[in-house]
Structure 1
Amino acid sequence: MITRRGFLQVLGSGFASAMALGGYAFAVEPLARLRIAHYSLTPPGWTPGLRLRVVALADLHACEPWMSARRIASICERANELGGDVTVLLGDYASGMNLVTRYVHSAEWSKALSTLKAPLGIHAIMGNHDWWEDRTAQKNGGGDTFGHRALAEVGIPVYSNRALRFEKDGLGFWIAGLEDQLALLPGKKWKRSAMGGLDDLDGTLAQVTDEAPVILLAHEPDIFPRVPPRVSLTLSGHTHGGQVRFIGHSPVVPSRFGDRYAYGHIVEEERNLIVSGGLGCSIAPVRFGVPPEIVVVDLG
């Protein structure tokens, strides 16, 4: 069975023999396009009268030439124009590939993200690559990564299995954020035989103390089958929509559920999940049929 890594590497190596398709997937869609993906919904149990706009950025994968600090700042400027009440960052700020001319330091990408503005704040979680590229965090098996520290230094709170309550127009809602589900790599040098997650869904939701609606930030969408109806909306990234998507289908997705949670608005048993197509690339700088996007969600 072909893996996502194998699929993207094969596609990346085929540029010379497919110049038209490859040139677009390699140079145009990843670099020159930016889509606004807009969703409007009123989840079951949503507080009547509470109208909330959420702007979401996912999977920046900062590196040059594909996602420079200047480009991140430009994306943030566009996000600020969208009038969000809150802006959320869904993880994977660190680069996830070797085909780069320069890695963008965490001090650079966090400075660019510090330009984001929203009346009810900017709220972040970590992604798997933020953990995987931090050797000290891997050795420790927890704690803060360089990503946690970089965001904290520019005043952006990181939710590591935490829930906080906010109000708009006197009506409350919660933002809850999970630590990453694939944070810890297996291997002898880490003394781990299997991939390990640091997420605590039950402990995070236990911090919710009233009936106000909950927005859950979870980098990987694979947690969704375990999310209870108490959560109004789950927001995820990680998949990049498969990075290659044909006629609404992604052939290879980094999820144990395959294409089920690859992209877009998914409703299961009256529970709502929105998966962003993300902004950057991992494994190979290829996008086709799923351009970089900012997600806007109007609730209520």
Structure 2
Amino acid sequence: MTLHVTRYRPELPQWPHDLPLRIAVLTDLHACLPWTGPAQFSAFCRQTNGLGADIILLLGDYVTGPRFSRPMDAAHWAAHLGTLSAPLGVHAILGNHDYDGYRRADLAHGPIEAERALIAAGIPVYINRAVRLDHAGRGFWLAGLGDQFAFAPKRDRRFARTDGVADLDGTLAQISTAEPVLLMAHEPDIFPDVPGRVALTLSGHTHGGQVKLFGKTPVVPSRYGSRYVYGHIVEEDRHLIVSSGLGYSGWPIRLGTKSEIVVIDLGGDRPI
């Protein structure tokens, strides 16, 4: 696996210039052997810790590797993620594959395994929750959306809104000041509903299409097709960054796409 660092410095209308923040984003790790096992996780974490990020965000899909893979114990992959370190901490949401094997009724019995493993490793997990963080003499809000397609039927590409546990309105209602907001949402499909109040939405899930042929991404797990498949997307002055992630889904191949860690610099004049 060739690992790239993709860097962005977006100009965000809702983010103040005098609030410099470097964000490192890891998503779609799909822990498994032999593709993204202990050696790969160690490399991911070591490289991320060397990027000088103020905050590290994990955007879900820690489990369920591709065909021809073996699962990695949750405590094992979470322990690797527990070695990540940044001044403002490491923060996580869950993805649709983290709910594989669960039914909605199972949520009544407590957190699912991926959430338990992350919490045990010292990483808070956000499911429709927002918190205020202090940084550089200012403050901002970090919001994490519950997964939108947690219980979507397999092979069903309609992705009905009722398939998940996302509550965008309830999440944003927890924000009690006018300070800027970062929103973590595993799937980018929520983006048309995100208000301009949110400075930046961060997503994964699509793997950048994983396979790109002649500039086209024929298979994208989104109700919007390739509209939000990858990169920095701006619609009506609202900003979204979608990472292609680190692991594999379906088949253990990438063609025309890269596994990546994403680094985003907001505000300030820090060189990239």
Deviation at 1:41, TM superposition (A): 1.4
Q: Which residue of 2 is the match for residue 105 of structure 1?
A: 73
Q: Which residue of 2 is the match for residue 243 of structure 1?
A: 210
- Structure 1: which 5+ residue stretches go unaligned? 1-30, 188-192
Give 1 or 2: higher helix fraction.
Answer: 1
The 3 A distance-change label for structure 1 pair 263 and 210 is: same
The superposition leaves residues 64-116 of structure 1 with CA deviations (integer Å, 9 ceiling, x where unpaired) of 1100022112111000111000000000000243311x210101100010010
Same amino acid, percent of matched pairs: 53
2:183 is aligned with 1:216:
yes
Deviation at 1:279, TM superposition (A): 0.2
Taking the aligned partners of 1:194 and 1:264, their CA distance within structure 2 comes to 24
2:142 is aligned with 1:153:
no
Taking the aligned partners of 2:189 and 2:151, their CA distance within structure 1 comes to 16
Question: Of residues 93, 96, 111 in structure 1, which corresponds to 2:62?
Answer: 93
Structure 2 SS opposite 1:259: coil
* Contact 1:141 1:184 (C-alpha < 8 Å) held by counterparts: no
Deviation at 1:184, TM superposition (A): 1.6
2:250 is aligned with 1:278:
no
Q: Which residue of 2 is the match for residue 13 of structure 1?
A: none
Deviation at 1:247, TM superposition (A): 5.4
Taking the aligned partners of 1:174 and 1:200, their CA distance within structure 2 comes to 17
Q: Which residue of 2 is the match for residue 4 of structure 1?
A: none
Q: Which residue of 2 is the match for residue 118 of structure 1?
A: 86
2:41 is aligned with 1:72:
yes
With 44-53 and 236-245 compared, the bigger mean Cα shift is at: 44-53
The superposition leaves residues 127-183 of structure 1 with CA deviations (integer Å, 9 ceiling, x where unpaired) of 0000114x3x54425641100000000110000100001111111111100010011
* Contact 1:236 1:273 (C-alpha < 8 Å) held by counterparts: yes
Q: Which residue of 2 is the match for residue 81 of structure 1?
A: 50
* Contact 2:27 2:243 (C-alpha < 8 Å) held by counterparts: yes
* Contact 2:20 2:136 (C-alpha < 8 Å) held by counterparts: no
Give 1 or 2 for the bigger CA radius of gyration: 1
Taking the aligned partners of 1:248 and 1:294, their CA distance within structure 2 comes to 22
Taking the aligned partners of 1:125 and 1:263, their CA distance within structure 2 comes to 19
The 3 A distance-change label for structure 1 pair 221 and 99 is: same
Residue 46 of structure 1 aligns with an amino acid whose one-letter code is: W
The 3 A distance-change label for structure 1 pair 247 and 175 is: farther
2:21 is aligned with 1:52:
yes
* Contact 1:177 1:217 (C-alpha < 8 Å) held by counterparts: yes
Residue 123 of structure 1 aligns with an amino acid whose one-letter code is: H
- Structure 2: which 5+ residue stretches go unaligned? 155-159, 268-272
The 3 A distance-change label for structure 1 pair 62 and 157 is: same
Taking the aligned partners of 1:279 and 1:226, their CA distance within structure 2 comes to 27
Question: Of residues 121, 139, 143 in structure 2, which corresponds to 1:172?
Answer: 139
Runs of 4+ in 1 over 3 A off after TM superposition: 246-249
Q: Which residue of 2 is the match for residue 11 of structure 1?
A: none
Taking the aligned partners of 1:194 and 1:35, their CA distance within structure 2 comes to 33
Structure 2 SS opposite 1:61: coil
* Contact 1:66 1:285 (C-alpha < 8 Å) held by counterparts: yes
Taking structure 2 as the reference length, the TM-score comes to: 0.92
Residue 232 of structure 1 aligns with an amino acid whose one-letter code is: A
Deviation at 1:42, TM superposition (A): 2.4
* Contact 1:96 1:129 (C-alpha < 8 Å) held by counterparts: no
Structure 2 SS opposite 1:41: coil
Structure 2 SS opposite 1:155: coil
Residue 90 of structure 1 aligns with an amino acid whose one-letter code is: L
Structure 2 SS opposite 1:289: coil
